[in-house]
Structure 1
């Protein structure tokens, strides 16, 4: 038997080498080239490589012996309890237990192959990411005949579940995206984005919403909210029970919000400079005029924080000292370690897009990229539920928002990827210019509140923490539980989760966390307690929104947020 395994291992080594020799490496334009390069650098003569193969073939043999009854009850792979794909009791039958274990063993073997490759850590990490993507896609749960839950349901419904699933698949193929929730249950302005207010200014890039006060008195210094432009703003204003905007207004803040427009074809030449000039700076100008305030506070979220941060040196160069404080909510300024999203960004992509003078980045493309970072939860889960089982996904406001993407202009997006992700220029003072001004974030000295989420897969919290090394004003760093959205949008009324605080931001991130105090509930209360002393005195709430110059255009949430990417 040992000689047999040696022979099959040698045969596999020869097959692998022949495959590599027969396929010369092409220009690396996609992730397949990463895998090809990795295979070339594997060392078949390596003892660990040979041992891994021998063990793999032995496990396969044991599985076969278990399936035919010669070795009953054999277990060569244990299911991770956190892996919900294989939890159903139907997987315990001999045939499907064999399929399950075979998949898990093969997955482990492929990952070990990547880990044993004789290559640099960056290439190995990228290859490991795409290997996992491949393994997730090839899971037996994703195919009807290898998923016992699907087969059982098909028999019980006499095939109607598969037929209904096919209808849903065809509908989603026509739509161009996976249906994650019952979209018929939601409508913007009806049961989403319901915080009362008025659009009091608009241009071709954004609408500015002023919210109706819900308290008799308000703080005199206005608050401008700058959400990300890659998604619709109403993640911050879902339903009344979990609306961050509703909470902020209830705390007595005179609140304005930027509602970015989903870019149309004729706007394909817009640059990052335009988002600063006609976006952040213009919005701040209008808020100051309406609020009759010399200075305002600014809350920014995700890429909105990078827009605000890069706008400030431009404003300072013009003598526009308008911001009393800024809040950076899940914002990454230092992209030394941007997380797994880096695997989708390389120089080939940037050079290709920079050769195009203008264009529009489809919001669905961006949404699919973010979904791929959590493919089991945001892709394959719905493939099984919708297409194989023929079921309707339950209504969920967060997933409705997640499917409601927004377009970006190509030059703006390409600039962002090059300067922030690939060159990490926000950490290099004066390495690039915007609106004719060299950008140096170390000149930002206003009080800053930085919030990060511990399980954030888009903005790793340790990377968000590095902003404390760039900005030079008084800084409060707070770490919330959960991920990019669930950590940020954590309503006080729910009293869920917790957050960590530590006044000593001179420490490295891990040391900061070790010395941090865990507090129950929502970080929103901590933020409000920080913001209120910087918001001026309490005054009577205005009876009318806008001003003589900036009249009410239409009720919130406005037209821009209702536009759908098709």
Structure 2
């Protein structure tokens, strides 16, 4: 029993009951005043909550239930297995209370940090709560995952929203079942709960009645001052983008400039956060004359802007401006995510126009050209959901950036939603200043016409992979005609552009392709500077069109893939020339990063 006493000593001592009661009463009264003040401020202009089932979740669950009831024996088997596991858990818990050592029946998955507080392991009650939750969630997810006869889209939707429910119900998300939250409340005499309420009400007010969780200290960063600081100038602009040319840091540079086409679904500066992790700054140091497109943050006046406009006023306009600035007709190009999809369309468009020589090499970061398996984003893209989304977009003129951010956050809800609920609201702590989360919160809008075309033609219909099925700017797009040497960089744990899909897309071109797979996800797999010496990447000489066969033959390399890409792209550099400076060809309009990237969606 000595061990039992030691564990009890680890639990924080409770304050004087009368003092704690008085403190909690004062906090309750203060909290009531805060809520009343908030409600009075929201009395006018209260947002209307959507009715119905715009995401078509109900129909998916009804279909699952019908199929599940068609096989009642499987449900009974699952129920019996859960009952047996609970009996074993009760037995383990009883043995622990008697001071015996037991092995846990279930453990959190690798990378699940919700239960890292030592009390989840050392205290018998919390250990029982944790294991019962993990057993129940495993049972629930297994039950819906194993339903026979469901088509893939319905199964994925049910699985996704079941996981959302399971994550939301975690004991870590509630005051009375989270030891860290309780400990903090006791140590602060309840002040942490009051601060948490203040944070929640502030986020509700910021979202005009809808909860917009603050993920970082947004006052800690200023674009162009302590983030996004690579020197350069805006040398061209139109209504959709500014083109930034960066100042050289080497005496000689590659003859062919490097054009970066970022996604417009978020801002380009994920490639230029800080000096230590800026891909743009690093590419400049490797002897490239780097140009980057900085997309505008559109408002309702852009409602009729099309995908054609993004092609012609984006990379096509950038190629013309680069030629005027440097005298070079041919560039090496990089496209990231949606920017990479646009780059693929650009290559097909240029080849159809007889101008395929304008891009010497194309690099695709986590880019889908084949959307047959869009991953969990496919949950949000079916005819019913898309019709609802289009109705909202065309009424407003754009897709709101906050809605897009919420969608992406749901893909990693424990990391990007519930961890902040615990930290900000239950613990009452201030968000930590983190440049990546500042960028993640700096959302952008999507013009209605463009985004509708993109979602329907690419995601829903997967028409881009079919030769001539998509027409853009007067050209029937045929990716099979693209002969440009290409480098595809994908990330093994990417939840936005699954590497299996990006791998399939890499086989749509007819020119030479090098496929490289990085460890980690959509952001960390790409933004991985060599100096960090993190993760690994895989390369393979296999020509197999089967991704698993390709990976099975691949060689593992420790560290960043950046040096591998640098060697590859140098072969297409065109030889050395004296460094070029912004303003020598096209007049500088303003210093980098320019005005467009500073436009915030509010």
Both proteins in one fold, TM over 0.5: yes
* Residue 385 of structure 2: aligned partner: 349
Asked whether the equivalents of residues 272 and 416 of structure 1 are also in contact (C-alpha less than 8 Å), the reply is: yes
Per-residue deviation, 1:125: 3.1
Per-residue deviation, 1:243: 0.4
499-508 vs 52-61, which moves further: 52-61
* Residue 266 of structure 1: aligned partner: 301
1:94-114 per-position Cα deviation (integer Å, ceiling 9, x unaligned): 433333233222212222321
The 5 A counterparts of 1:470-509 are: 470-509=508-547
Per-residue deviation, 1:119: 3.0
* Residue 143 of structure 2: aligned partner: 113
Cα distance, 1:161–1:352 mapped onto 2, change above 3 Å: closer
In 1, distance between residues paired with 2:475 and 2:546? 32
Is 1:90 paired with 2:119? yes
* Residue 50 of structure 1: aligned partner: 76
Per-residue deviation, 1:121: 4.5
In 2, distance between residues paired with 1:507 and 1:75? 44
Cα distance, 1:127–1:320 mapped onto 2, change above 3 Å: same
* Residue 11 of structure 1: aligned partner: none
Cα distance, 1:88–1:540 mapped onto 2, change above 3 Å: same
Is 1:172 paired with 2:180? no
Is 1:390 paired with 2:428? yes
In structure 2, the residue corresponding to 1:257 is in which secondary structure? strand
The 5 A counterparts of 1:407-422 are: 407-422=445-460
Q: Which of 520, 536, 558 does residue 574 from structure 2 map onto? A: 536
In structure 1, the residue corresponding to 2:137 is in which secondary structure? helix
* Residue 158 of structure 2: aligned partner: 127
* Residue 467 of structure 2: aligned partner: 429
Asked whether the equivalents of residues 405 and 564 of structure 1 are also in contact (C-alpha less than 8 Å), the reply is: yes
In 2, distance between residues paired with 1:212 and 1:422? 42
Is 1:323 paired with 2:359? yes
* Residue 555 of structure 1: aligned partner: 591
1:99-154 per-position Cα deviation (integer Å, ceiling 9, x unaligned): 32332222122223213434324133321221111100111111112212111110
Per-residue deviation, 1:46: 2.8
* Residue 193 of structure 1: aligned partner: 228
Q: Which runs of 5+ in 1 are unaligned?
A: 1-25
In 1, distance between residues paired with 2:56 and 2:74? 29
* Residue 140 of structure 1: aligned partner: 171
Cα distance, 1:203–1:543 mapped onto 2, change above 3 Å: closer
In 1, distance between residues paired with 2:279 and 2:370? 26
In 1, distance between residues paired with 2:337 and 2:133? 37
In structure 1, the residue corresponding to 2:464 is in which secondary structure? helix
* Residue 106 of structure 2: aligned partner: 78
Cα distance, 1:508–1:45 mapped onto 2, change above 3 Å: closer
197-206 vs 69-78, which moves further: 69-78
In structure 2, the residue corresponding to 1:307 is in which secondary structure? helix
* Residue 463 of structure 1: aligned partner: 501
64-73 vs 368-377, which moves further: 64-73
Q: Which of 536, 540, 564 does residue 526 from structure 1 map onto? A: 564
In 2, distance between residues paired with 1:487 and 1:553? 34
The 5 A counterparts of 1:143-154 are: 143-154=174-185
* Residue 41 of structure 1: aligned partner: 67
232-241 vs 428-437, which moves further: 428-437
The 5 A counterparts of 1:243-262 are: 243-262=278-297
Aligned length: 539
Per-residue deviation, 1:315: 2.7
Asked whether the equivalents of residues 353 and 410 of structure 1 are also in contact (C-alpha less than 8 Å), the reply is: no
In 1, distance between residues paired with 2:159 and 2:458? 24
Asked whether the equivalents of residues 65 and 71 of structure 1 are also in contact (C-alpha less than 8 Å), the reply is: no
Per-residue deviation, 1:559: 0.6
In 2, distance between residues paired with 1:237 and 1:245? 6
Asked whether the equivalents of residues 497 and 522 of structure 1 are also in contact (C-alpha less than 8 Å), the reply is: yes
In structure 1, the residue corresponding to 2:314 is in which secondary structure? helix
1:523-565 per-position Cα deviation (integer Å, ceiling 9, x unaligned): 1111111111211121111355252xx3111100001111111
Per-residue deviation, 1:45: 5.7
1:396-445 per-position Cα deviation (integer Å, ceiling 9, x unaligned): 21111111111111121111111111111111111121112111111111
Cα distance, 1:115–1:478 mapped onto 2, change above 3 Å: closer
Asked whether the equivalents of residues 241 and 294 of structure 2 are also in contact (C-alpha less than 8 Å), the reply is: yes
Per-residue deviation, 1:320: 2.8
Please, what TM-score do these two structures have when normalized by structure 2?
0.85
Q: CA RMSD in A?
A: 2.3
The 5 A counterparts of 1:217-232 are: 217-232=252-267
Per-residue deviation, 1:274: 0.7
Asked whether the equivalents of residues 97 and 124 of structure 2 are also in contact (C-alpha less than 8 Å), the reply is: no
521-530 vs 36-45, which moves further: 36-45
* Residue 35 of structure 2: aligned partner: none
Asked whether the equivalents of residues 364 and 487 of structure 2 are also in contact (C-alpha less than 8 Å), the reply is: yes
In 2, distance between residues paired with 1:543 and 1:107? 58
Cα distance, 1:386–1:313 mapped onto 2, change above 3 Å: same
1:493-514 per-position Cα deviation (integer Å, ceiling 9, x unaligned): 2222221111233352111111
In 2, distance between residues paired with 1:71 and 1:156? 27
Per-residue deviation, 1:488: 0.3
Cα distance, 1:67–1:80 mapped onto 2, change above 3 Å: closer
In structure 1, the residue corresponding to 2:69 is in which secondary structure? coil
Q: Which of 322, 335, 338 does residue 287 from structure 1 map onto? A: 322
Per-residue deviation, 1:354: 4.5
In structure 1, the residue corresponding to 2:68 is in which secondary structure? coil
In structure 2, the residue corresponding to 1:188 is in which secondary structure? coil
In 2, distance between residues paired with 1:231 and 1:541? 31
90-99 vs 235-244, which moves further: 90-99
Per-residue deviation, 1:344: 1.4
